[in-house]
A and B are shown apart, each in its own frame.
Chain A
Amino acid sequence: MSLIDSVSLPRNFRLTRMDGLIQWILPLAIIAIWQVATVTGFVPTRVLPAPSDVVLAGWKLLLSGELIRNIWVSFWRASIGFLIGGSIGFAFGLANGLSQLSARLTDTMLQMVRNVPHLALIPLVILWFGIDESAKLFLVALGVFFPIYLNTLHGIRTVDPQLIEMGRIYGMSDGELFRRVIFPGALPSIFVGIRFALGIMWLTLIVAETIAASSGLGYMAMQAREFMLIDVVVLSILIYALLGKLADSASRVLERATLAWHPAFQKR
Chain B
Amino acid sequence: MQTALRAAFSESELASRANFVPHARAAREERPVHTSGLPLSIRGLRKSFGDNEVLRGIDLHIPVGQFVAIVGKSGCGKSTLLRLIAGLEKIDAGSISFGDEVQAEDIRVMFQEPRLLPWARVLANVEVGLGRDRATSDAQLRAEKALAEVGLADKRDQWPSVLSGGQKQRVALARALVSRPRVLAFDEPLGALDALTRISMQRLLERVWRDQGFTAILVTHDVSEAVALADRVLVIEEGRIAHDVMVNASRPRERGSVELAGLEGSILSHLLSADDRT
A→B interface (CB under 8 Å): 162-163, 165-167, 169-172, 180-181, 184-185, 187, 259-263, 266
Residue of B nearest to A172 (CB): B128
**Partner among B86, B111, B128 whose Cβ is within 8 Å of the Cβ of A180:** B128
Alpha-carbon gap, A72 to B126, bound state (A): 49
5 contacts between A and B (CB under 8 A): A165-B88, A170-B128, A260-B159, A261-B118, A263-B161
Alpha-carbon gap, A263 to B115, bound state (A): 16
Residue from B109, B119, B159, B175 whose CB has the most chain A CB atoms within 10 Å: B119
B117 at the interface (CB under 8 A from A): yes
List, in ascending order, chain B residues with CB within 8 A of A261's CB: 118-120, 159-161
Residue from A165, A167, A170 whose CB has the most chain B CB atoms within 10 Å: A170
Question: Are B120 and A180 in contact, with the CB atoms below 8 A?
Answer: yes
Residue of A nearest to B131 (CB): A171
B26 at the interface (CB under 8 A from A): no
**Partner among B108, B117, B131, B159 whose Cβ is within 8 Å of the Cβ of A163:** B117
B109 nearest CB across to chain A (Å): 6
Q: Which 6 A-B pairs have the closest CB atoms?
A: A171-B131, A184-B119, A261-B119, A166-B115, A263-B161, A261-B159
In chain B, positions 105-119 with a C-beta closer than 8 Å to chain A are: 105, 108-109, 111, 113, 115, 117-119
Question: Are A181 and B129 in contact, with the CB atoms below 8 A?
Answer: no
B132 at the interface (CB under 8 A from A): yes
Give a binary string over B68-106; 1 marks a CB under 8 Å from any A CB, 0 the rest: 000000000000000000101000000000000000110
Alpha-carbon gap, A181 to B113, bound state (A): 16
List, in ascending order, chain A residues with CB within 8 A of B131's CB: 170-171
Alpha-carbon gap, A166 to B116, bound state (A): 9
Alpha-carbon gap, A187 to B117, bound state (A): 13
Alpha-carbon gap, A170 to B160, bound state (A): 18
Question: Are A266 and B88 in contact, with the CB atoms below 8 A?
Answer: no
List, in ascending order, chain B residues with CB within 8 A of A185's CB: 119
- Interface residue count for B (Cβ, 8 Å)? 22
Question: Are A169 and B86 in contact, with the CB atoms below 8 A?
Answer: yes
Residue of A nearest to B86 (CB): A169
| 8 extra A-B contacts, CB within 8 A, seeds A165-B88, A169-B109 | A165-B115, A169-B108, A170-B128, A171-B104, A187-B119, A261-B118, A261-B161, A263-B161
A165-B88, A261-B161, A266-B159 given; A171·B117 CB < 8 A: no
Residue of B nearest to A173 (CB): B132
List, in ascending order, chain B residues with CB within 8 A of A187's CB: 119
Question: Are B117 and A162 in contact, with the CB atoms below 8 A?
Answer: no
Question: Are A184 and B117 in contact, with the CB atoms below 8 A?
Answer: yes
Question: Are A170 and B129 in contact, with the CB atoms below 8 A?
Answer: yes
Residue from A165, A187, A259 whose CB has the most chain B CB atoms within 10 Å: A165
Alpha-carbon gap, A165 to B120, bound state (A): 17
List, in ascending order, chain B residues with CB within 8 A of A184's CB: 117, 119-120
Alpha-carbon gap, A170 to B104, bound state (A): 8
List, in ascending order, chain A residues with CB within 8 A of B129's CB: 170
Residue of B nearest to A184 (CB): B119
Alpha-carbon gap, A259 to B175, bound state (A): 23
Alpha-carbon gap, A165 to B110, bound state (A): 12
A170-B129, A180-B128, A261-B119 given; A162·B159 CB < 8 A: no
List, in ascending order, chain B residues with CB within 8 A of A180's CB: 117, 120, 128
A167 nearest CB across to chain B (Å): 8
Question: Are B105 and A171 in contact, with the CB atoms below 8 A?
Answer: yes
A266 nearest CB across to chain B (Å): 7
List, in ascending order, chain A residues with CB within 8 A of B175's CB: 170
Give a binary string over B147-162; 1 marks a CB under 8 Å from any A CB, 0 the rest: 0000000000001111
Residue from A171, A259, A266 whose CB has the most chain B CB atoms within 10 Å: A171
Alpha-carbon gap, A169 to B175, bound state (A): 12
Alpha-carbon gap, A171 to B119, bound state (A): 19
